[in-house]
Structure 1
C-alpha cells in the first residue's frame, strides 16, 4: 500500500522517539565526533527514506523535504525538554552531554518546548498544505519570524555566554537551520498573496477615514509606542546602563536579565535592534494608507515576538535558572501581565492587518468628495 507524502512525513517525525531511545543505549556515543556523525547520519538517512517513500508521487515543492526533516528534529527537541524537566528519561542524555550541552539551560529547554510544539504544528500544517496544494504563505511567514529570532538568540548567546567553552562539533548542525529558513523565506515571500474580494470603493472608503474614526488602530498605535519604549528600556538594561531606574527594575522585576548565561541579554539586544524599527514601521503603516507590506511584516514579527516572549517568560521562572536570577515571587503577576501583553499585542496586530487589509492596499483614491460624504 502506497503511503501519502504527508502521512510519510508525519510517521517519520514520530520515529524520533525510538531512534533517540536506541542511540542513547549505544556505548560508543561518548565522543563529541561520534555524536556529530551519528546525528548527521540520522538526518541524511531520514531524508533518503522520505525520498524513497514518496518517489512515486513526489511533492512539487522542495520545501516539503525541509519541513519533514525539521518536524523530526522538533520531536527530538520535545523529547529533550521533557527529559530535562524529569517527565521522561533515557532518551537524549548522550546528546546533551556530547552534542549540545547548552540545551540543558533554562532557555535551551524553553526553545525546545517551543520547537517541539508550536514549530511542530506549523511544520505539519505546511506539509499538509503542500500535499493538498494549498497556500501556506501566512503560516510560513509566521514560522520564519519565530525560527530566525530563536536561532539568532541561541547561537549568539551560546558563543558569548558561559556555554561558550562547551561548544561541540554538533554545534555545526545548526548551520542548515540558518541557511534553510533564509532560502525558505525567499520562496514563501514570493508566493502569490490571497487578495480580498472587495470593491475599489470599499478600499477607498476605508483609506479615507481619519485615525479618530479607526479606534482599533488607535489602540494599536498606543501599544506600539509603549512596546517600543519597553523594548528600548530593557535593551539599556542589557547594555548595563547605570541609571538607577534600570538597576532597580533589573533587581526587583527581571533579575533574569543579569543571568550570565547571556541568552536574556542577547534577546533584549536583538529585540532593541530589530523590534524597535519594526514598531516604527508599523506606526507608519497604520497612519499612512497603502502600505502593502504591513500584513506580511506584522505576521513575521508576530512569530518572532511570540517565540521570544515564550522563551523569556519561561526561562525567567524555570527552576533550572539560578534562584538569584528568577523573578521574585511577589512580582510574578506584574511580570506576567507586562510580558504576555507585549506578546499578545503583536499577535492581535497581525490578525488585524491580515484579516482587514483594505487600508493597506495600494492605488486607491483617498481624496474624493463623494467618498467623504459616504464616510460621514
Structure 2
C-alpha cells in the first residue's frame, strides 16, 4: 500500500513538474520525501496526543518502535527539519540554483537516522538488553558493515567492559567507576533506558564523531584540507539530529520517570548537550565563512611560474 501511494505521488509530481525533473531528477526525490516527512510529523503529533486516529494502525502494527520517546522526536525532526530542507532544495532546483550545502546537511542527518534508528529498533525489539555483550557485538557488526573499519576486541568480565573502552561506552554499559556512576544516575539517567537508542547513539559517537573531531582539529591547523568543509556540514546535520532526539527523549513523558533527567540537573544537562550540538555547526560555519583556508595550495613550481609571468 505504501509503495502504491508513493508511486502515485511520483506520477503526479512528474506530470506537474517535468521541467524541474528533466533539469535535476532529485526534484522528484525531494518532493516524494517531503510527503513522507509530513507523515512523520503526523505520527509525532498523534503520539503526543495532538491528533487522533490518523496513523494509529501504522504505529501499532507497522512500526511500534515509533511510539517510544526517541522515535517520536526523530519523527519531529524528520517532519520539521527534513521537510524544510526538502522544500528548500526543491525550490533551489526550481530557481536553477545550487543546493549542495543543504544536501550535505540533510545527508548527515539522514545517515545518523540510519545508524541509530535501525539498529536501535532491532536491539530494542529482539534483545532484552540485559546482556551488554550482545549490545556490543550487534552494534560492532553494524558499524563494521557500514564503515569497513576494524574494531578492536574488548575484554568482557561480568557483563561489563573494562580497561580499554572509552568514556561514552563505559557510561552506557554501566561502567563501575565512580565518575560514570555519578553521571549516569544523577545527570543523564536516560542512558540507562532499556530502549536501545541512547546506547547505540553513544557508540556511534565514539566510532564516528570522535575520530572526525581529531581529523578536524588537524585540518584547522594545517591549510589545504579541502575535505573538511563538506564533512563538517555532514557531521553538523548528523549531530544536530541526534542531539535533538536525545535531549527531547530524555525529558519526554513516554520515557519512564526513573530515566528522565532530574529537575536539579536540567541546567547541566542542557548546557552540556547544547554545546555538543552547537560545536559541529560552528565548525561548519567557520568552513563556509572562510573557505580559502581549506583550498589546496598549488605546487611551489607553479606559483613561481605564475609570479615570473
Range of TM-score over shorter length = 0.7 to 0.9
CA contact (8 A) 1:105 1:320 kept: yes
Instruction: Please tell me whether residue 114 in structure 1 is matched to residue 77 in structure 2.
Output: yes
Structure 2: state its 5+ residue gaps. Answer: 129-145, 147-164, 301-309
Deviations 1:136-155 (A, max 9, x none): 00110000001100121010
CA contact (8 A) 1:122 1:139 kept: yes
CA contact (8 A) 1:232 1:276 kept: no
Residue in 2 that maps onto 1:338: 272
1:59 is paired with a residue whose SS is helix
Instruction: Please tell me whether residue 259 in structure 1 is matched to residue 193 in structure 2.
Output: yes
Distance 1:289 1:323, change over 3 A: same
Alignment partner of 2:243 out of 301, 309, 320: 309
Alignment of 1:145-184 (within 5 A): 145-162=108-125
Structure 1 runs (4+) greater than 3 angstroms displaced = 55-59, 162-165
Q: Distance in 1 between matches of 2:216 and 2:183?
A: 28
Alignment partner of 1:293 out of 220, 227, 239: 227
Structure 1: state its 5+ residue gaps. Answer: 1-37, 166-181, 183-230, 367-376
Larger radius of gyration: 1
Q: Calculate the TM-score normalised by the size of structure 2.
A: 0.82
Instruction: Please tell me whether residue 87 in structure 1 is matched to residue 21 in structure 2.
Output: no
Q: Calculate the TM-score normalised by the size of structure 1.
A: 0.67
Aligned length: 265
Residue in 2 that maps onto 1:133: 96
Deviation at 1:115, TM superposition (A): 0.3
Deviation at 1:90, TM superposition (A): 2.0
Alignment of 1:221-236 (within 5 A): 232-236=166-170
Alignment of 1:191-210 (within 5 A): none
CA contact (8 A) 1:295 1:353 kept: yes
Alignment partner of 2:202 out of 268, 281, 284: 268
Q: Distance in 1 between matches of 2:80 and 2:127?
A: 27
CA RMSD of superposed structures (Å): 2.0
Q: Distance in 2 between matches of 1:47 and 1:305?
A: 31
Q: Distance in 2 between matches of 1:261 and 1:157?
A: 7
Residue in 1 that maps onto 2:14: 51
Residue in 2 that maps onto 1:237: 171
